[in-house]
Structure 1
Amino acid sequence: MTAPEPTSAPGSAHTPTPAIEDTAHPVDAPHLLELLGTRPRVLALGEPTHGEDTLLDVRNALFRQLIEEEGYRTVAVESDCLAGLLVDAYVTHGAHGTHNETHGTDTLDDVMERGFSHGFGGSPANRALVRWMRAFNEDRPPEDQVRFAGLDGPLETAGGESPRRALTALHAHLAAHYDPAMLPCTAETLDGLLGEDGRWSEPAALRDPARSVGRTPEAERLRLITDDLRALLDALPPSRDESHHRARLYARTAAGLLRYHASMADPSPARLARLLTLRDSLMAANLLALAARGPVLVHAHNTHLQRERSSMRTGEGPVEWWGAGAITASRLDREYAFVATAVGTLRHRGVQPPPPTTVEGLLYALPAAHHLVDTGLLTTTLAPAPPAPRTSPWHGYAPLDPTHLPTTDALLYIKATTEPHPWWPTPTTP
């Protein structure tokens, strides 16, 4: 399949169909915002695979421009939201206050090791982003500093961590605002109910619901206590104090983790779909909380950020769920913009040049290394001969679904990736 020849649509003889090259633009902030037609409150950039610093380098350059020229002041990535507090304290020099594990004196090595989940702290591109954010914030007043946030829960591919970090921090915050008799339990009782953290992060629970502690009497009581603590938090007067925003993060995370562990213990066929739904629901809640404070740049897998229903093939068959992007877009409408990323080759993963009958193949014929693509114009261009979906020989890469183009605000196309740094040894699910 080659790019369609310019033709005239029926009844509009003077309106030729655009060529593929007409849909492509340079990758920079002005062209992106021109394609979007607005400066959205949430600008979400997806990626079709993890672990590719070529993609992250392009992200970094684009995000820097949007921060410097368009005033975005929060960067959120697909990583542990609690660990991200450590990165935020580092890039802001502790100007916005610290949580109980952070003192603003950690080195960049410490921050990259403990401030990211999923192994993402090993990425040279992520390291460069953190270093740049800290340098950008130098000598800026706190209200003009760029902030860092994790979007994901404290979840790894083998399950979730103990709710201890979130619950104890939430309890401590409320203990500073209420008489002890108002709290549903003491800190000692909470510690006893939580027990050993290793029980919660048991890897075998991913495949064996019976190994999960998520539906034990202690876990059920912790869910009730968390509900009571959240009610007390909601009863406090509204505050812009940073500790209050963190307390809300702790409350969301504690409740989300306990729900997630309860579903880990669920033996029903809906178990995996429920886990994926709960994870993205927590991502959406974190994203909406960030957006309530100001414009946000987001980077995560396309699957999490797209407006269409997400899907994944498993050994038990296909699973579908609504992702964080779909949830957020339903709340923010046009204040949410989704820019998908598609790639031509990942040769080191066995993904060779795409067939010319696919969207990726048509764009691969263009000379530049990467483009921003006008998806509205591209949809019109491809209408006479709809492209075929691409398939991948490697499970860690999700090709672009051409049926999603109408609900994708723009497309970042990267022709080829380079051999990755060995920081990403084992591909994981989105």
Structure 2
Amino acid sequence: MSTHDDVRTLARPLRTGRDLDPLIERIGDARIVAVGEASHGTHEYYAWRSALTRRLIEERGFGLVAVEGDWPDCYRVNRSVRLRPDAEQDPRDALDAFARWPTWMWANDDVVDFCRWLRGVNATRPEERRVGFYGLDVYSVWDSMHTLVGWLRVHEPQHVDAATRALSCFEPFGEDGAEYAFASRFAPASCEQAAVDLLRSLCAGRGAAEAATDREARFAAEQNAAVVVDAERYYRAMIRGSAESWNVRDVHMVDTLDRLLAHGGDDGAHPVKAVLWEHNTHVGDARATDMAGAGMTNVGQLLRERHGTDDVVLVGLGGYRGGVIAGSRWGAQMAPMPVPPARPGSLEALLHDAVGQDALVVVPRGEQPDWLTRRLDHRAIGVVYRPERERRGNYVPTVLGRRYDAFLHIEETTPLHPLHLERAEEHVPLTSEAF
């Protein structure tokens, strides 16, 4: 058979949520499903990811959604979807409050629709069986610190001194990651020990504190402290190179997921299954790309290493042409942009030529056809995108059959709809990553 025949043999039309049946079957009893996207600004990626997640929650008992977002922002959404006291009744209000660029990643209509649906599902369940929505990322060092100090003042004043020492260490840098990163590079002292001491003091008193307080809120306080520890490491690593800072970030995201899985439901007794929403560059196993050669690991690789390939399913998404929301530079106002047809020889061009419609490919567990074992260019659009550079960049060399367990191909993509334009007062994080 020709390569195109091999592709058509595996590809299944993708029209409605029921067409995901082969993927649901492949997921089986796996505990972790990580669902990617080839950009952070494409409606179809969010819509299909949501459709798959809804089925996993309803049919397979998945109990939490963890996303490439900041812990404090996403925890407000979590409180809303789980109908917690004093939380926003409409998750849209919690999402509209996101204030770190690029806000459109989560403050958009597709995420609102999903979170409203999730709140409705949770309203029919007892509190301990409600599905959560959590952020895994590492950028919220100052938001996490201020949130933690405020919570401790009310609930655990015995830890306020440790938190205040950590906060006072960071305060001279004016919530500027660049200033802190350079200061830690050229000065012998850093805030590392203050942050570690804070987390250690919280964890040491966990048992008695949980008995006297809201266990979920106490867990959130510890997670904010963990963000401070790893964000401090992240900013110091940025000075030494992008690969090291990337690894700090992805390890933090998997560590956070592992804490969520161990934490379980509110009573801690129910094992939880998790869906992750992140960019393909985090979800797809780094060992099947050129990332490994650059000394980089990622979420997908770490999940397989820690939890095994039987308990982890990695799902990629990509598109042939269409449109996207992105910024023309870091921190720029978002704008809809055209996405030209994928370049010849790429994975997306192969699927377009062979299938020519939206399709699902579930990777065989055993012997694979040649096109799944070849290294093909695979498009990756970040929050910064310049369509005119398509021929020189925006692609990651990928062995599809090793990078993912399944792949959703979209022929024509459209930009998602943000809830608001970027606001002048929004925080633009220092980072070496575009994903």
| Range class of TM-score, shorter chain | 0.7 to 0.9
Normalised by the size of structure 2, how large is the TM-score? 0.75
Query: Does residue 277 of the first structure (1) align with residue 277 of the second (2)?
Result: no
Task: Work out the CA distance in 1 between the residues paired with 2:8 and 2:33.
Answer: 25
Runs of 5+ consecutive residues of structure 1 not aligned to the other structure: 6-17, 181-185
- SS of alignment partner, residue 314 of structure 2: strand
Alignment counterpart, residue 321 of structure 2, candidates 345, 349, 352:
345
Change in Cα spacing, 1:410 to 1:306, as seen in structure 2 (3 Å) is same
Question: Between Structure 1 and Structure 2, whose CA radius of gyration is higher?
Answer: 1
**What is the CA distance between 1:69 and its match in structure 2?**
1.9
Matches within 5 A, 1:232-271: 232-233=204-205, 236=207, 243-265=214-236, 270-271=240-241
SS of the residue 1:380 aligns to? coil
1:1-400 → structure 2 map (5 Å cutoff): 3-4=2-3, 19-27=6-14, 28=17, 29-36=20-27, 38-94=28-84, 103-105=86-88, 107-114=90-97, 117=100, 118-119=102-103, 120-155=105-140, 160-161=141-142, 163-165=144-146, 167-168=148-149, 171=152, 175=156, 180=158, 187=160, 190-191=163-164, 193-195=166-168, 199=173, 201-202=175-176, 204-205=178-179, 209-210=182-183, 216=189, 219-233=191-205, 236=207, 243-265=214-236, 270-292=240-262, 293=264, 294-309=272-287, 320-333=295-308, 334-347=310-323, 349-366=337-354, 369-376=357-364, 380-383=368-371, 386=374, 388-390=376-378, 394=387, 398-399=394-395
* Residue type of the alignment partner of 1:191: T
Name which of structure 1's ranges 366-375 and 164-173 shifts more when overlaid on structure 2: 164-173
Deviation track 1:146-169 (CA, whole Å, cap 9, x = no partner) reads: 2211122344xxxx4355235426
The answer to whether the Cα contact below 8 Å between 1:371 and 1:412 also exists between their aligned partners in 2 is yes
Give the whole-Å Cα distance in 1 for the aligned partners of 2:61 and 2:107: 28
- RMSD value, Cα: 3.9
User: Is contact 2:109–2:416 with CA below 8 Å preserved after alignment?
Assistant: no
Query: Which blocks of at least 5 consecutive residues in structure 2 are unaligned?
Result: 265-271, 325-336, 381-385, 423-427
The 1:212/1:257 distance shift into structure 2, 3 A limit, reads: farther
2:399 partner SS = helix
Paired positions, count: 389
1:414 and 2:385 equivalent? no
TM-superposition CA deviations, 1:160-197 (whole Å, max 9, x none)? 43552354267458837xxx4xxxxx625643651475
TM-aligned CA distance change 1:212 to 1:291, over 3 Å = same
Given residue 194 of structure 2, which amino acid in structure 1 is its aligned partner?
A: L
Q: Check the 8 A contact 2:64/2:132 in 1, yes or no.
A: yes
Q: Distance in 1 between matches of 2:80 and 2:349?
A: 42
User: When you count helix as a share of all residues, which structure comes out higher?
Assistant: 2
| One-letter identity of the residue aligned with 1:68 | E
Deviations 1:285-330 (A, max 9, x none): 11112333201111101111222249899xxxx9542112222221
**Could you tell me whether the CA contact under 8 Å between 1:67 and 1:73 is conserved in 2?**
yes
Q: Per-residue CA shift, 1:98-148, capped at 9, x if unaligned?
A: 6xxxx2245444211235854034311111111111122223222332221
Give the secondary-structure state (helix, strand or coil) at the position aligned to 2:29. coil
Residue 377 of structure 2 aligns to a residue in which SS?
coil
Deviations 1:5-40 (A, max 9, x none): 7xxxxxxxxxxxx6211111244442112234x221
Contact 2:290 2:398 in 1 (8 A): no
Q: Give how far 1:266 is off.
A: 6.0
2:398 pairs with one of 399, 402, 407: 402
Secondary structure at the aligned position of 1:82 is classed as helix
Contact 1:215/1:261 (8 A) holds in 2: no
